[in-house]
Amino acid sequence: MWGVWLSVRDSAARASAAKPTASANRPRAVVFGCAGTMLGADEAAFFAASDPLGFILFRRNCDTPDQVATLVRDLRASVGRPDAPVLIDQEGGRVARLRPPHWPAHPPMGVFGALAQRDRAAAREAAWINGRLLAHMLTEVGVTVDCAPVCDVPVDGAHDIIGDRAFGRDPELVADLARATAEGLMAGGVLPVIKHIPGHGRALADSHAELPVVDAPREALEATDFAPFRALADLPLAMVAHVVLKAIDPTAPASTSAIVMREVVRGPAIGFDGLLFADDLSMNALAGDVRTRAKAVVAAGNDIVLHCNGVLDEMRAVAEVVPPMSYAAAQRWARAQAMRGTPKPADIGALKERMDDLLRLIKA
């Protein structure tokens, strides 16, 4: 049932009609957060002047459905682009910006991995339905990009920042369920962002707090960490991790390493040619001020900078050093937009009931 709604490979052909604009008309290669539940006058003026590609919402921005929908409209109006992407991290479980009582809770991705241990086909179907239901919730308030699914493969002893956010410890299973989730999202009109490429599952630290360093040999990384991303390299968007892979480049995290980008992310180890967002500049894994961080992220080869904390002075500094999107990035973004499905009619209540029935198999 779930697979008939949208084929990523089929939909990719639609991208040929999209043509990037001239450099002067391309948005700035950055996605910004905002401070609160309403767009301030200073923020609106800054966004109008700096013209970021899009915006990202956090819990601080989300109170009620009507309020979020209004904020999203105001953000798009500030840049004069009704199709400007609005992102959110709505994975389910502990990573959810839209929460009860106004929005339904969704299970963490690890639940679908647990179901797969009982019934792989049921898990695929449930993951697709979950993606479709997430998309329904997001499109109701105007959000068009979900920073999900998590495609990391946790290992014993790793920091629990990933934990049950991951589908499991089998790279093939992770790729299988991540694809189902991504296709469910796209069938509902929302673009997925696979993360955290090239892999955060071995990290012994939380990159929000400090810089993780992974000591694993390249062979292990190729076989495990990179494998889900390699299998999903045809998907439209990915987020790059702030994690040092010592076997590839011991001098810098993946997000600021041209070596990792060239040899792994864009190279034969993974071969991803979609649009790349570097993870949030505000995270403590990165060194230096925000200008230094933004320059490093751009120089490494990321397409889009993320700055999420909503601090206006920092956003001004980032905008000073981040250029308009490159021609290649604009092409990738055009392809991504072409892969986003127009939502087909769906019985949301019936889908919820079906997912609940499937998840009951875990305890059967």
End-to-end CA distance of the chain: 22
Name the active-site residue from 164, 176, 249, 279: 279
DSSP string, 138-181: HHTTT--EE---B-----TT--TTTGGGSS-S-HHHHHHHHHHH
Can you state the angle between helices 65-79 and 41-50, rounded to 10 degrees?
Answer: 40
Whole-number Å distance between alpha carbons of 182 and 149: 7
| 160 in active site | no
Name the active-site residue from 42, 66, 208, 356: 208
Rounded (5°) CA angle 245-247-253: 25
User: 77: Cβ–Cβ under 8 A, 6 or more apart, which residues?
Assistant: none
SS3 248: coil
Tally of CB atoms within 10 A around 72: 21
| 357 in active site | no
Residues annotated as part of the active site: 208, 279
